[in-house]
Structure 1
Amino acid sequence: MADNHENNRPDGSDDDNGKDPFAEMFSNLFGGNLPGGMNPQDLPEDVQKQLGDLQNNPQAMQNMFRQMQQLMGAMASGESGPVNWSLAIDSARQAAAGDDPTVTGPRQQAVADAGRLAEMWLDQATAFDSAGTDFTAISRAQWVTKTMDTWKVLTSDVAQSMSEAMTRAMTDQAPEEMKSMLAGAQGMFQNLGGAMFGMQLGTAVGGLAKDVFGGTDIGLPLAGNSPVLVPANVSAFGEDLEAPEQEVLLFMVLREAAHIRLFARAPWLRGHVVSAIESYARGIHIDMSKIEESLRDIDPMNPESFQSQAIEGLFTPQHSDAQRSALEKLETALALIEGWVDQVVAEASANLPAAGALREMLRRRRATGGPAEQAFASLVGLELRPRRLRDASAFWAAMREERGVAGRDDIWSHPDLMPTSEDLDDPAGFTERRRLAEAADSEIDEALDKLLSGGFDEPDTGDSDGSAPEDPKA
């Protein structure tokens, strides 16, 4: 480090230890000075200014240290794979930390009581029985822990495809003379990608933990097969509403319980949604120009800019036709799930004064997604929200009118009965289209049975005595 560099503290006083603040910064980050004895004064003037301003902001510097140390530590840990899950969990917990009150006994009791009442009301609104499990009130940090196994299922294939695409793109675009060297560094690229993806995924999941009301907000049972509620988020949502807190709580509990009933009575549904995500993941393609653009826009003065740039473009894939088809399947499934829950809860909460207003607010929230949900969508390229929620709700209302409660719910009995996007466009024609499809399937099955059993009449090739048929022209 240069001897003529002035060593001053951020407050203007002399540094009694005689340490260069830049050297300290890099020592904290990497355990040593700048590589190759580089002098910070040799850096570009604007970078020196940014580093100087950064050392005057202890909180920003602390955040940068923590993020860089996490990233370097994760790479050094030897954890391999498309996602560094240790880093993902740590980042999620940090993002969810802060104002996260512990669930008290009285609050737990209030949620449990609301759960029992909600189950009674739902018995009158759906043919699906209760799953028979009590409600549990949890904190935001507990929500992260309970849902992480499901995030692994939802994002592993996406991360794997992105890791492969990113490594392939970097290798393909490198100069010929560097390709042999890069081939030996693929493991390092993969570990770096896994650490970066884990950090960003954790940040997104931690952000969601501050927004969600329970374990089924995105249309999947993230927290398992038992209903859960995050009272802190329910209370925050109800602060600006005129509705009594107890009504808001009961409405949220109704929605969570309805989701749990649906997935319990249609066990194939979860796999249907996950398969759409896997189909999407298999076609991941990375636009390297976006990566370069994102890196140019990172502001060294703002450590959070690394996260925002990564979320906004660094890992965003480009959609192929096959992926658009998978996303349409996913969005239709999520719309049908949310539309059914919307309709069932509307019936179950008919006597709740604030139900109409709460229903409309949640419709808008679910259809547009909050900031944390949008961040997750930008990260993995998946928008886990129902674009056609209102159409789906109208479809289930039409089925209720036409078939009754049991007939409506029976549509969930088999994946082959799953309504399509066309059915959302024309609910009135669903039954007739389904009848025609079933008739066509029946005819095909009948013909196949005849073919296999030899039931079809063989063509006449001659008389019974074995002679050739008489030529009518003879």
Structure 2
Amino acid sequence: MSSDLPFGFGAGDSGQPFDMQALGAAFQQFGQMLSNAPAESGPVAWSVVEDVARKSLQTTGDPVVADAELRSITAAVQLANHWLDEACTFPECTAAPQAWSRAQWLESTMPVWRRVVEPIATQMQNAIPANIPTELSAMLGPLLGMVQQLSSVAFSNQLGNSLAGLAREVVSASDIGIPLTDNPVVALVPSNATQFGEGLEVAADDVRLYLALRECAHQRLFAHVPWLRARAIGALEAYVAGLHVDQDRLQDMLQDVDFANPEAMQELMTSGLMTPDDTEEQRAALARLETLLALVEGWVDDVVTEAARDRLPAAVALRESMRRRRAAGGPA
């Protein structure tokens, strides 16, 4: 006999209100999720983030950077800096050029991701309003710690997969338009650079040189306009600071909820009620960040175009390919 009971529990043949076997299996699964959760505290389980990201990269492949690739990148960076000296006044980055695998990009940028993401996750976790009705608060209180722990694991899994996705796309340390290393460093990701050049009918050396020009220009800008990092991170923080749940809407929706009705409670928790809405302040912060990224990209594009003029005929096609990549939602 079918049942309308929520959460997948059905009435047994004996007429018992719940299928106890299904209930036991559900609790066992829940216990396994908790036992697999990391011991570290905080809104982000960074061990999970790194583990998920690395396993994802291993699954899809992460070619080891050969010595020959590092030599080719070093030569491209040297030539790029020579050309850029005539196109801009900012001096070159003094750190030795690097060639990163996807995993090395992940490792090298992780400290900055920690500083950027941690406040976001904390604010999201604190976005639930404090004046939840007494009935609901009493019901959720004993489970709050477990819910936060599972939420941390779920968020960390999602973040790990997202960073792995970025690692498979970015062609350089500066590809997303903001500084992702504590100190300026010119670094290309050879496997992704090769991927970027596929189908363009442009020589691999020209692709590498063009990407080196962009990377060197970015790093010159980041190194000698230090407020860029603070502005970018500040815009992110301003956006996160505005996260909140509309408490008036919450109160209105809870007025008619029957807290003794499991189906009503299930509908409440899956209604999206706790999803924060964007505020005017958040939209303004996002606009500032987008404007800043557009200014950085505009400066880099202009300087690289000037540096490559009459020297790299393929720059026109590569510039258009980069523009299409950004328009399609790439990491840039």
Question: Which TM class, normalised by the smaller chain length?
Answer: 0.7 to 0.9
Distance in 2, Cα, partners of 1:91 & 1:316: 25
Q: How does 1:389-400 map to 2 (within 5 A)?
A: none
Counterpart check, 1:159 vs 2:121: yes
Distance in 1, Cα, partners of 2:22 & 2:289: 54
Aligned to 1:205: 163
* Residues 163/238 of structure 1: CA separation in 2 closer, same or farther (3 Å cut): same
Shift of 1:81: 0.9
* Residues 286/107 of structure 1: CA separation in 2 closer, same or farther (3 Å cut): farther
What amino acid maps onto 1:92 in structure 2?
A
Q: How does 1:21-100 map to 2 (within 5 A)?
A: 38=21, 72-75=34-37, 77-97=38-58, 98-100=60-62
Q: How does 1:278-427 map to 2 (within 5 A)?
A: 278-285=237-244, 317-350=276-309, 351-370=311-330, 373=331
Identity of aligned residues (%): 43
Aligned to 1:130: 92
Shift of 1:146: 0.9
Specify the SS of the correspondent of 1:279.
Answer: helix
What per-residue deviation string (whole Å, max 9, x for no partner) do you get for residues 227-247 of structure 1? 111000010111211110110
Shift of 1:314: 11
Aligned to 1:270: 229
> How many positions carry a matched residue from both structures?
290
Question: Larger C-alpha radius of gyration, 1 or 2?
Answer: 1
* Residues 72/144 of structure 1: CA separation in 2 closer, same or farther (3 Å cut): farther
Aligned to 2:3: none
Distance in 2, Cα, partners of 1:181 & 1:247: 63
* Residues 268/196 of structure 1: CA separation in 2 closer, same or farther (3 Å cut): same
Higher relative contact order by CA 8 Å / sep ≥ 6: 1 or 2? Answer: 2
Task: Compute the RMSD of aligned alpha carbons.
Answer: 3.0
Shift of 1:316: 7.0
Contact 2:186 2:215 in 1 (8 A): yes
Specify the SS of the correspondent of 1:38.
Answer: helix
Aligned to 2:9: none
TM-score normalized by the length of structure 1: 0.56
What amino acid maps onto 1:244 in structure 2?
A
Contact 1:219 1:337 in 2 (8 A): yes
* Residues 186/102 of structure 1: CA separation in 2 closer, same or farther (3 Å cut): same
What per-residue deviation string (whole Å, max 9, x for no partner) do you get for residues 45-66 of structure 1? xxxxxxxxxxxxxxxxxxxx9x
Of residues 277-286 and 187-196 in structure 1, the stretch that sits farther from structure 2 once superposed is 187-196
Aligned to 2:199: 240
* Residues 228/317 of structure 1: CA separation in 2 closer, same or farther (3 Å cut): farther
Shift of 1:203: 0.5
Shift of 1:91: 1.3
Shift of 1:132: 1.1
Aligned to 1:391: none
Contact 1:80 1:194 in 2 (8 A): no
* Residues 250/314 of structure 1: CA separation in 2 closer, same or farther (3 Å cut): farther
Distance in 2, Cα, partners of 1:178 & 1:316: 17
Specify the SS of the correspondent of 2:218.
Answer: helix
Aligned to 2:263: none
Contact 1:74 1:87 in 2 (8 A): no
Q: Which runs of 5+ in 1 are unaligned?
A: 1-34, 44-64, 297-312, 374-384, 386-474
Q: Which runs of 5+ in 2 are unaligned?
A: 1-17, 254-265
Aligned to 1:251: 210
What amino acid maps onto 1:328 in structure 2?
A
Specify the SS of the correspondent of 2:126.
Answer: helix
Distance in 2, Cα, partners of 1:361 & 1:202: 28
* Residues 85/168 of structure 1: CA separation in 2 closer, same or farther (3 Å cut): farther
Distance in 1, Cα, partners of 2:52 & 2:275: 20
Distance in 1, Cα, partners of 2:293 & 2:199: 28
Shift of 1:143: 0.9
TM-score normalized by the length of structure 2: 0.79
What amino acid maps onto 1:275 in structure 2?
G
What amino acid maps onto 1:195 in structure 2?
V
Aligned to 1:425: none
What per-residue deviation string (whole Å, max 9, x for no partner) do you get for residues 277-310 of structure 1? 0000001135899xx89x97xxxxxxxxxxxxxx
Q: How does 1:77-226 map to 2 (within 5 A)?
A: 77-97=38-58, 98-165=60-127, 167-168=128-129, 172=132, 176-224=134-182, 225-226=184-185
What per-residue deviation string (whole Å, max 9, x for no partner) do you get for residues 221-274 of structure 1? 213421111000010111211110110011011111111000100111101110
